[in-house]
Structure 1
Amino acid sequence: MLSGAEGTRLCAYVVLSLMTGVRTEEARALVWPHVHLDPPGDIPPHVEVWRSVRATGDTKTKKSRWTLALPEPVVEALRARKDIQETDRKVAGKKWEENRLVFCSQVGTKLDAANVRRGFRAIIRESRIGGSWTPRELRHSFVSLMSEKGVPVEEIARLVGHSSTATTETVYRKELRPVITKGAEVMGNLFA
C-alpha cells in the first residue's frame, strides 16, 4: 500500500494515518500550525490532533484530543506534502484558498470524505493488494500492527484515543496470526 501511495497526492495522508492511527476525519482537519516537524530542544516531531471535520469541529471524544510523536517516515512524508502544497499554491495563484489545511485540493479547498475515498481506491488498485479497502482501515491496520508487535492493548487504546480497551479489542484489533501463541511461548520457556 505504501509503495502504491508513493507519488500520489494522498501519500502523506496514508503514511500519517497508517503510522499514527488518527481517524480519517481528524487527518482531513489537520492544520499546519498543529504539525511540528522541527520542534525545539528534545521534543520529538509531533502532531496535535485537536480538530475534526465533525459538525462541532471537535475530535470524537475528549480523550481523542491528543498529541502524537511522529515516526521518521511520517515526518518525511509531511515535508514532501508541504513542498507539493507550496507548488500548488504558486500554480493556483489567486484561485488558492488559504485555510492552513495539511490535506487539501490543488487550490487549497477542503477534501471531503468522497475525495479521500476516491484517491485511496486508486492507491489500492495501484498497489494490487485487492479487496475493498477504505481509508478508515488504515486506523484498524495501525491497531493490528501494534498488537502484532506486542504493544499492550491499554497502550494501543491510549494511542488511538479510546476511553477503554473494549472498543480497541472488539472493533479495531484484527489478529494477524491465526493462532494465539503467547501462552505456549511462556509456558514452553517456563518448563523447558
Structure 2
Amino acid sequence: MDLAGGRITIRQALQRVDGRLQLTPVKTDGSNTTLPLPSPLVPILREHQRIQGEHRFAAGDEWRDSGLVFTTAVGGPIEPRNVNRMFARLCEQAGLPRLRVHDLRHSCATLLFTMGVDAATVQRILRHSSISMTINTYTEVIEQVQRDAVNELKPLFGDSHDESAGYAE
C-alpha cells in the first residue's frame, strides 16, 4: 500500500486450501494490479497503519509480517468468516438488509456507472478479465444510465411531446 501515492497493489488472494487459509497468487495477470484509493480513505488507512504498528509492537516476536493491509493482532490473515459475521452485524445495526461483503463490489460498479464512468474504467477497477464480462454483468445498470442520459435531452423538445406515450421499442 502506497498511501503517499494514494494507491494499493493487489498481488495475492486469500483462499482456503485443504481447510487452511493460504495466500495464493491472484487468478489472472490482470488481477495483479495497482488501484487508486479514494482520497478520503487515505487518512483512515494511515490511522489503521498506526494502530497496526501498535499491534506489531505488542506482539513482539509473535508478529507475522504477512504484507497484508488488514491482519489479526499478530499479523496473520483475518478469518473470512469473521469478516462476514462482523459485516452482518454492521448491516443489522444500520437497519440494512443482510448483504454479503461481495455485494459491495456490485454496489461500487453500480455507483461508478451511475456517475458516468465508462465501462473500460469500471472493468479495470473491478479487475474483470474482459470488458464483455463487465458489460454483461451490469447490462441493466448501463441501460438505465443510458436512458437517464438521453432523458436529459427532454428540454430540447419543448412541451409539445406526449409523456404518456411511453417509449417505442
Task: Pick the TM interval, shorter chain.
Answer: 0.7 to 0.9
1:29-40, aligned counterparts within 5 Å? Answer: 35-38=1-4
Please name the residue that 1:47 is paired with.
8
Please name the residue that 1:18 is paired with.
none
Of 59, 62, 71, the match for 1:95: 62
Tell me whether 1:131 sits opposite 2:97 in the alignment.
yes
Structure 1 Cα separation of the partners of residues 84 and 142 of structure 2: 25
Please name the residue that 1:140 is paired with.
106
Shift of 1:67: 1.2
Shift of 1:150: 0.8
Change beyond 3 A, Cα 1:168–1:47 = same
Of 31, 42, 45, the match for 1:75: 42
Shift of 1:133: 0.8
Number of residue pairs aligned between Structure 1 and Structure 2: 151
Secondary structure of the residue aligned to 1:83 is helix
Please name the residue that 2:118 is paired with.
152
Structure 2 Cα separation of the partners of residues 174 and 112 of structure 1: 34
Tell me whether 1:122 sits opposite 2:83 in the alignment.
no
CA contact (8 A) 1:147 1:175 kept: yes
Q: TM-score, normalised by structure 2?
A: 0.75
Tell me whether 1:108 sits opposite 2:93 in the alignment.
no
Shift of 1:127: 2.3
Change beyond 3 A, Cα 1:65–1:100 = closer
Q: TM-score, normalised by structure 1?
A: 0.67
Please name the residue that 1:61 is paired with.
28
Structure 1 Cα separation of the partners of residues 29 and 72 of structure 2: 29
Shift of 1:166: 3.1
CA contact (8 A) 1:140 1:173 kept: no
Structure 2 Cα separation of the partners of residues 163 and 177 of structure 1: 22
Structure 1 Cα separation of the partners of residues 3 and 114 of structure 2: 28
5+ residue gaps in structure 1?
Answer: 1-34, 39-43
1:152-171, aligned counterparts within 5 Å? Answer: 152-171=118-137
Shift of 1:136: 0.8
5+ residue gaps in structure 2?
Answer: 18-22, 159-169
Q: Which has the larger radius of gyration?
A: 2
Shift of 1:172: 5.2
CA contact (8 A) 2:84 2:101 kept: yes
Q: Which moved more, 1:167-176 or 1:46-55?
A: 167-176
Larger strand proportion of the pair:
2
CA contact (8 A) 2:92 2:98 kept: no
Change beyond 3 A, Cα 1:124–1:174 = farther
Residue deviations 1:133-172, cap 9 Å, x none?
A: 1111121111011011011122211221223333223435
CA contact (8 A) 1:51 1:57 kept: yes
